Structure 1
Amino acid sequence: MRLALIAAVAFSVSACAHPPALNEGARYVNMGSSFAAGSGAGPAPEASPARCYQSQVNYAHLLAARRNLALTDVSCGGATSTHLLNAWNELPAQIDAITADTRLVTITIGGNDVAYAGNLTQASCDPDETIRVATFSVPCPAAPFPIASDAFETLERNLGEATRQIKSRAPEARVIFIQYVTLVPQVQCANSRLSEVEAAELRVVAARLAEVTARAGEANGAEVFRIDEASRNHTPCDADPWSTGLPRDNAGTQAPWHPNTRGMEVIAERLDALLAR
């Protein structure tokens, strides 16, 4: 039983027994939505698309600095899994950043496909409230965002296709899906402002999002980094939060319901440890 448990834990963080070596200066591509971009976690890198709200202290930049990697960050706030594979107005498909010499790819995406962060925000703010993020302000969403009936199926299909294309374009790349940090507290507080009914519904969405991501990654040769499990006691209502909620005195320095600076640091540290194994 002990050997079986060890094997299960090993498989939970890696889909390949002998991942390729990652040398200094290796090409690293970061893909995904605002959770990968680090929206609200810090100042934007030079020359990054203004509407993507990337941060100089997202986990990709921190990891690249730790390991002296050549980072290309194409993550973008608001992106869905469709934008991994297809252009988004003036932005090319994120997968176009993958070249044959790419050695590491990290991906966090899917929350926008299923309106996860949007519905967290809607549920935790008042109808007449203004939400401040970085340089802009938006009103509280008036009603929950609908989730398409086939949203999870589309997400799983797109994640699988993206992984296969990455493996084809860069056969030596190590591909890691990074799960979303746990956001919904078990016990609500002033930073979450969710009803128990809302919290329960949003936990179901989070669990299914994690399940789909894990299944798509493991079925197509990607690794799955389960930061969702590691962050269960680090929600906006815990003593050491790795993410923000939406307190009433929101100062706009961090994006609501996103990883905070501390969360980005932890993800980078644990990714670094994973890559060292």
Structure 2
Amino acid sequence: MVRRMLVLLAAAALALGLTGPARAVQGEVYVALGDSAAAGPLVPDQVVPDLGCWRSDHNYAHLTARAIGAAVLRDVTCSGAKTKDMYQSQKTDLGSVAPQFDALREDTTLVTVQIGANDVGLTGFIEDCLNLLPPPVGDPCNDDYVVDGQDSWRVKTDALRPKLTALAADIRARAPHARVFLVGYATYAPPNGCYPTVPIIKADANYIRGTLMYFNQMLAEQAAAAGIGFIDLQTPSVGHDPCASPGVRWIEPYVPASPAAPFHPNGLGMKNFATIVTAAVTGALSQT
């Protein structure tokens, strides 16, 4: 996964202020957990230390922290992270980083966590479906993932449910005073795709779309079951997927037009995700 990320980052490199403060609680101690969708690889500027995490100082966690006037932000999001990396050190190509849960403490008042895509291999799945030649020359990918009559991605997604239940409980144990939000993933493909702008054929684009919708539904269900908040990024990002034009899209395609890793949020996406996250966390606060 890390090697694949470096290849994608190289391709991106070759290709090339959130609104004012919202109502907030002064003294908020915000911990951001998650993978590359939260970290913001290649979105300027990448922060130190932990350069191997490809973490931006303009990802939605940083922008949300500024918007709510947080007293402390501990952003430990890291590209390539899986649920296991919440509990143990994560290896990157530039060294190991501490378990993300080390950032959770008694003083934590707010937690966002965006995790799970790497557990089931969704990034690799999208890459596998890239098809430079359409049928009948090109080979569709969607039928490769049916094993013994079962959709292997849905099987992997359902297998993640107990890990997320445990994850929510463990966050609460480490940060008992925190409001906790599980963050979903954005829209990565419109109906029927947009071949050849994004070289994924119609059937595969619809398969990717359906798979991610099922994955986000699972995240929402697990958040509800665990009694934590869920922040939907899929619905508001409709029309801002990699098929949209530069300046409109929030997720970059395989050959990015703005600084971001392929099939990851760009700066505009992070700005809009921060608006959504800010609204969610401040709205929940006003109800408590």
Does structure 2 retain, via aligned residues, the 8 Å contact 1:174–1:222?
yes
TM-score, length-scaled by structure 2: 0.75
Shift of 1:83: 1.4
CA RMSD of aligned residues (A): 2.5
In structure 1, the residue matched to 2:249 is 241
**Relative to structure 1, is the Cα distance of residues 65 and 22 closer, same or farther in structure 2, using a 3 angstrom cutoff?**
closer
Shift of 1:257: 0.6
Does structure 2 retain, via aligned residues, the 8 Å contact 1:22–1:103?
no
**Relative to structure 1, is the Cα distance of residues 262 and 191 closer, same or farther in structure 2, using a 3 angstrom cutoff?**
farther
Q: Distance in 1 between matches of 2:111 and 2:24?
A: 11
Q: Distance in 1 between matches of 2:221 and 2:280?
A: 20
Name the amino acid aligned to 1:263: G
Q: Distance in 2 between matches of 1:191 and 1:65?
A: 36
Does structure 2 retain, via aligned residues, the 8 Å contact 1:82–1:158?
no
1:183 aligns with 2:184: no
**Relative to structure 1, is the Cα distance of residues 149 and 219 closer, same or farther in structure 2, using a 3 angstrom cutoff?**
closer
Q: Distance in 1 between matches of 2:109 and 2:63?
A: 17
Alignment of 1:111-190 (within 5 A): 111-124=117-130, 126=132, 151-189=156-194, 190=196
Gaps in structure 2 of 5+ consecutive residues: 1-22, 134-140, 146-151, 284-288
Taking every aligned residue pair, what percent have the same amino acid on both sides?
Answer: 29
Q: State how many pairs are aligned.
A: 239
1:29 aligns with 2:31: yes
Gaps in structure 1 of 5+ consecutive residues: 1-20, 128-142
**Relative to structure 1, is the Cα distance of residues 151 and 86 closer, same or farther in structure 2, using a 3 angstrom cutoff?**
farther
The SS at the match of 2:118 is coil
Shift of 1:75: 0.9
More divergent stretch after superposition (38-47 vs 87-96): 87-96
Name the amino acid aligned to 1:62: L
In structure 1, the residue matched to 2:138 is none
Name the amino acid aligned to 2:250: W
- Residues 197-241 of structure 1 deviation map (CA, whole Å, 9 limit, x = unaligned): 211221232022112211211111110111111112211223521
Does structure 2 retain, via aligned residues, the 8 Å contact 1:78–1:112?
yes
The SS at the match of 1:113 is helix
- Residues 137-176 of structure 1 deviation map (CA, whole Å, 9 limit, x = unaligned): xxxxxx9998688532442222111111111222221111
Name the amino acid aligned to 1:57: H
- Residues 47-98 of structure 1 deviation map (CA, whole Å, 9 limit, x = unaligned): 2x12110011100011111222211111110111221233324333212211
**Relative to structure 1, is the Cα distance of residues 94 and 118 closer, same or farther in structure 2, using a 3 angstrom cutoff?**
same
Q: Distance in 2 between matches of 1:123 and 1:252?
A: 23
The SS at the match of 1:182 is coil
> Which runs of structure 1 show a deviation greater than 3 angstroms over 4 or more consecutive aligned residues?
143-150
Does structure 2 retain, via aligned residues, the 8 Å contact 1:121–1:256?
no
In structure 2, the residue matched to 1:61 is 62
